[in-house]
């Protein structure tokens, strides 16, 4: 008898912690009008979810699909972690299948942790291999859907780790006028990651755009800089230049 989504649901339920669930519900802002409105947490932590995903790495995609369409956050998370593990260990043909599956169901990658744990390790890796066409990222960056825009910028985290910064910078520039705080945070985070590896490249971007950058994006981008440079870029923002 093959693996079933119900087996994972049972394991997750056995690990559920109502106290942690209550904390997660608040942390992920699940109340009315918030970005995670209606998302349901049962209180399973990410390390536990990783273990379950690794155990069920061979779960058929139709069963992964069942988890991905669950209202329970941790079930969607495990589904995505399974895809990440599978992608890493698959043949090139199955990698293509996993990427197609991910994009076909991208609307279910609908919270910031789900994006951050999956986008670099599936979309980012896939697009960097063989220098594939990256038009997809720019299309996602222009999406009306906040999670798709976050996928676009956070997927480039894999590029950054491999020393390629141009797509991150172009997409961060596209997102300068974005109105959502979760995009400001993600873009600032990626700029900071660029700066860890190439301070000159990050600071060239900041010199050009810090005067028009959302405050949160700038705060995240300059987090690791010396105090004197932080003051310099904050002043540029205040002065608007």
**214's tokens:** 């959302």
**Confidence category of residue 98, pLDDT binned at 50, 70, 90:** very high
pLDDT in tens, 70-88: 999 999 999 999 999 999 9
- What does the pLDDT read at residue 241? 61
CA 177 and chain centroid, separation: 19
CA 74 and chain centroid, separation: 15
Query: What is the maximum alpha-carbon separation in the chain?
Result: 66
**Confidence category of residue 153, pLDDT binned at 50, 70, 90:** very high
Is residue 15 a contact partner of residue 46, using CB atoms and an 8 Å limit?
Answer: no
pLDDT in tens, 50-69: 999 999 999 999 999 999 99
Q: Is 90 exceeded by the pLDDT of residue 21?
A: yes
pTM (2 decimals)?
0.95
Q: Is 80 exceeded by the pLDDT of residue 240?
A: no
**Confidence category of residue 215, pLDDT binned at 50, 70, 90:** very high
Cα(71)–Cα(91) distance, rounded to whole angstroms? 31
**Confidence category of residue 36, pLDDT binned at 50, 70, 90:** confident
CA 155 and chain centroid, separation: 7
Cα(97)–Cα(93) distance, rounded to whole angstroms? 7
- Sketch out the chain's domains with CATH numbers: 1-105 (1.25.10.90), 109-241 (1.25.10.90)
Cα(108)–Cα(105) distance, rounded to whole angstroms? 6
Q: Is 70 exceeded by the pLDDT of residue 199?
A: yes
Burial code of 151-182, b = ≥16 C-beta within 10 A, e = fewer?
Answer: bbbbbbbbbbeeeebebbbebbebbeebebeb
**Confidence category of residue 236, pLDDT binned at 50, 70, 90:** confident
Q: Is 80 exceeded by the pLDDT of residue 209?
A: yes
- What does the pLDDT read at residue 129? 84
DSSP state of 129: G
pLDDT in tens, 114-132: 999 999 999 999 999 877 8
Provide CB contacts within 8 A for 132, sequence distance 6+: 126
Cα(23)–Cα(32) distance, rounded to whole angstroms? 16
Provide CB contacts within 8 A for 100, sequence distance 6+: none
- What does the pLDDT read at residue 91? 87
**Confidence category of residue 1, pLDDT binned at 50, 70, 90:** low
Mean pLDDT of 157-171: 97
């Amino acid at each position: 008898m093959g693996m079933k989504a119900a087996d994972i649901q049972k394991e997750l339920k056995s690990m559920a912690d109502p106290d942690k669930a209550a904390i997660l519900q608040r942390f992920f802002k699940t109340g009315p009008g918030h970005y995670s409105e209606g998302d349901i947490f049962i209180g399973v932590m990410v390390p536990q979810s990783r273990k379950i995903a690794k155990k069920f790495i061979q779960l058929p995609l139709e069963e992964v699909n069942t988890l991905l369409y669950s209202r329970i956050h941790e079930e969607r998370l495990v589904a995505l972690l399974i895809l990440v593990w599978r992608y890493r260990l698959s043949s090139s043909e199955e990698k293509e299948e996993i990427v197609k599956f991910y994009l076909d169901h991208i609307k279910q990658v609908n919270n910031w942790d789900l994006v951050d744990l999956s986008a670099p390790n599936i979309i980012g890796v896939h697009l960097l291999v063989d220098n594939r066409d990256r038009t997809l990222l720019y299309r996602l960056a222009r999406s009306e859907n906040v999670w798709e825009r976050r996928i676009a910028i956070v997927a480039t985290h894999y590029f950054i780790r491999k020393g390629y910064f141009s797509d991150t910078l172009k997409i961060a520039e596209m997102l300068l006028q974005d109105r959502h705080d979760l995009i400001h945070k993600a873009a600032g985070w990626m700029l900071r990651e660029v700066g860890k590896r190439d301070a000159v490249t990050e600071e060239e971007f900041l010199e050009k755009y810090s005067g028009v950058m959302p405050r949160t994006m700038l705060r995240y981008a300059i987090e690791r800089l010396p105090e004197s440079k932080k003051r310099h870029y904050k002043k540029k923002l205040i002065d608007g230049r």
